[in-house]
Structure 1
């Protein structure tokens, strides 16, 4: 049983956030606010969501992309963080697992995920 004060606080944090419905295997683009000195800018981070964990305001996603020289880069983002301005689902992936950590060992075309076909 959760404390009602904590639940009310979490509901206040979630208000105004427009989070799309997505899951592991989907390719997402996150608009992340980056602060450098006294300047702020928005940088897009696009990759495959390989894990989604937690609940409420503590929910996080792990996004993996392939950077320069074919090096895999993973970042963990709290979904309800103030540094995330927008989350966009680019394409839906067809996977049968909730956690796609096996993608870390695959390279090149073997690491591709089939697109989910709508009926």
Structure 2
């Protein structure tokens, strides 16, 4: 089993950004037409992600000329040139299959406003900054809180006078 995992490690891609369901991504795919090879962009919303290792894949959905188009893309496929995360979606589901039934504005997802895709220089600066600062200095110590007072519930029936 370990031998199989070691063989798989050689084929796994390393430059995959973290993304999940609800995120809008641009997938740059290598397409061979005749003797030529070109890069085609497929931009849409990730509606699911499944599997692990070499078998991991994700589904991207976009609307093209009023028709919903979904594409299942293997994550570690050699036909993927690169993946860019455009926006991060604020969703509470792992599978967004309900988007298939929605049209127009109803199919829009909430996005995290503060997310802006970092450039390569910003990524390198963030990594250098994270490595230079000690982790213990960043974590604030919590003060001890006072124990909460217990609240007893009143019996409403006991407070009311008896009916005759």
In the alignment, what sits opposite 1:87? 83
- Equivalents in 2 of 1:65, 1:6: separation in Å? 36
Matches within 5 A, 1:23-102: 23-68=20-65, 70-102=66-98
In the alignment, what sits opposite 2:129? none
Greater mean deviation of Cα atoms: 53-62 or 6-15 = 6-15
Q: CA RMSD in A?
A: 1.3
Instruction: Tell me the matched-pair count.
Output: 115
Which 4+ stretches in 1 moved above 2 angstroms?
A: none
Query: More strand by proportion, 1 or 2?
Result: 1
Question: How far 1:118 moved relative to its partner?
Answer: 4.2
In the alignment, what sits opposite 2:7? 9
Structure 1 unaligned blocks of 5 or more: none
Structure 2 unaligned blocks of 5 or more: 116-164
Question: How far 1:87 moved relative to its partner?
Answer: 0.4
SS in 2 for 1:28: strand
Q: For the pair shown, which has the larger CA radius of gyration, 1 or 2?
A: 2
In the alignment, what sits opposite 1:111? 107
SS in 1 for 2:61: strand
Question: How far 1:6 moved relative to its partner?
Answer: 1.4
Question: Structure with the greater relative contact order (CA < 8 A, sep ≥ 6): 1 or 2?
Answer: 1
